[in-house]
Amino acid sequence: MKPISRRTFLKLAAATGMVLSVSGCSLLTPSPTHQVSSVCSGTGTPPDTEFDYIVIGSGAGGGPVAANLAEAGYTVLLLEAGGEAENAHYSVPAFHPLSTEDQDLQWNYFIRHYANDGRQNNDTKRDKAGKGIWYPRAGTLGGCTAHNAMITVYPHQSDWDRIAILTGDDSWSSDKMRKYFQLVERCQYSSRTWDFVTGGRHGFSGWLPTERPRQETLEEFVKKDPQLQHILAAVALTTLEDLPGSVPDAILHRAIPKLFSAALKEDINHMDSIKHRPEGLYLTPLATNGGRRASVRDRIRDVKKNCPSQLVVKTNVLVTKILLEKVSALKGEQSKAIGVECREG
């Protein structure tokens, strides 16, 4: 049996159900370097309204950017093509698979995995009607953070360092990127004191809360579910196979509840685990708050509440065109975005 990798383990954990704000607006309004205008008929915003920035899309990229700009004192228009529906499929973590089928949230994209039609048609995941490969997206405030599995695991350090090497930009290095994780995270399953003493490098004041399932509840699940015990035993065997000697299956199965209890105390996002134990049995932290989904939507709403004059959010608005104008630059004439055209509904 091959050693299990960190990525493979995370996939297995998700499949087996084991993965069961910085507030306050800037007091100083910066002088805008430019202003852009919106042209959104019927959205409630006058067509000639000007903003320092217009952000298209409220997902994991656009939402935080718009919120940060607003908190910094800029006037921002955030446009989202989807709506703002919120139901149990959104809020209950266990229902996240159902959100991809929810008419209020789903946007069904179909893509191609191959340019060659022959290879494309042999893809087992292709749609029989010929649309391509189904690629579920979320058309709603918060984008795909409204329907993802909420898994919040810090990447391999080598991933960041590889990007730094490829780009020649040291700001992508793993040590520097960890600081951004700390700014975003609001860890709710560890204490500041313990984190400081052990060098965990968690964030405790960010806008994204992270939690883990209750230890007592999961221990009871393991004790009562032979199938889950079998899966955990398989993971443990794979992890332990490189150690000298062997552990009989019967003994391992009896030890699983205790091994699982010990694993609950380990933290996959702790820097010690990331550096020295990237593979093993862990509980996966989730982006939840009090057992309820937490997403970019919450960040947007918080900033809109605290900075109402800085952030304007428009849902059900589809941008159809970005307006450009030619401007002079050091490298010659270049295009500059000055506004958008969009339609409501």
DSSP per position, 174-217: HHHHHHHHHHHEEE-SS-HHHHHHHT----BSSSEEEB---HHH
Neighbours of 300 (CB within 10 A): 25
Residue 290 forms part of a structural domain: no
Q: Are residues 103 and 134 part of one domain?
A: yes
Which amino acid is located at 47 in the chain? P
> pLDDT at position 242, please?
57
Are 278 and 324 in the same domain? no
Please check whether residue 291 lies inside any domain of the structure. no
pLDDT at 73: 93
User: Which pTM does this prediction carry?
Assistant: 0.76
Last residue of a domain, one of 146, 163, 179: 146
Number of domains in the chain: 3
Shared domain check, 231 and 170:
yes
Indicate whether 336 belongs to any domain: yes
* 119/218 same-domain check: no
Residue at which a domain ends, from 254, 285, 316: 285
Report the Cα 306 to chain-centroid distance in Å: 23
Please tell me whether residues 188 and 234 are part of one structural domain.
yes
Q: Is there a contact between 209 and 186 (Cβ–Cβ < 8 Å)?
A: yes
Spell out the alpha helix ranges (H) of 31-113.
Answer: 62-71, 88-91, 96-99
Residues 157, 281 within the same domain = yes
What confidence score (pLDDT) does residue 16 get? 38
Query: Could you tell me if residue 31 is inside a domain?
Result: no
DSSP secondary-structure letter at 146?
G
Same domain, 46 and 75: yes
Question: In this predicted structure, what is the pLDDT of residue 109?
Answer: 86
Q: For residue range 259-314, what is the model confidence (pLDDT) as tens digits?
A: 667 767 789 999 999 999 888 778 899 999 999 999 999 999 999 999 999 999 99
Is 44 found in the same domain as 116?
A: no
Q: 169 and 216: one domain?
A: yes
Whether 196 is covered by a domain: the verdict is yes
List the chain residues with pLDDT less than 50: 1-4, 6-34, 36-44
Does some domain include residue 306?
A: yes
Question: CA nearest 282: which of 94, 4, 5, 9?
Answer: 9
Distance CA 5, CA 330 (A): 49
- Joined together, the tokens standing for residue 164 give 């730094």
Q: Coil, strand, or helix at residue 9?
A: helix
CA distances for 308 relative to 74, 77, 113, 226, 311, angstroms: 12, 11, 43, 53, 6
The answer to whether position 30 is within a domain reads: no
Where do the DSSP E strands lie in the chain? 36-40, 50-51, 53-56, 76-79, 106-111, 133-138, 185-187, 208-210, 288-289, 292-293, 311-314, 317-329, 332-344
Do 173 and 121 sit in the same domain of this protein? no
Same domain, 275 and 160: yes
Amino acid identity of residue 148, one-letter, is N
Residue showing tokens 């509904």: 345
> What's the pLDDT score for residue 30?
39
The residue segments making up the domain with residue 108 are: 96-146
In this structure, the answer to whether residues 135 and 156 fall within a common structural domain is no
Q: How far apart are CA 107 and CA 285, in angstroms?
A: 27
Place of tokens 């694993």: 263
Distance CA 201, CA 242 (A): 30
3-state secondary structure of 310: coil
What CATH number is associated with residue 317?
A: 3.50.50.60
Q: Does residue 28 fall inside a structural domain?
A: no
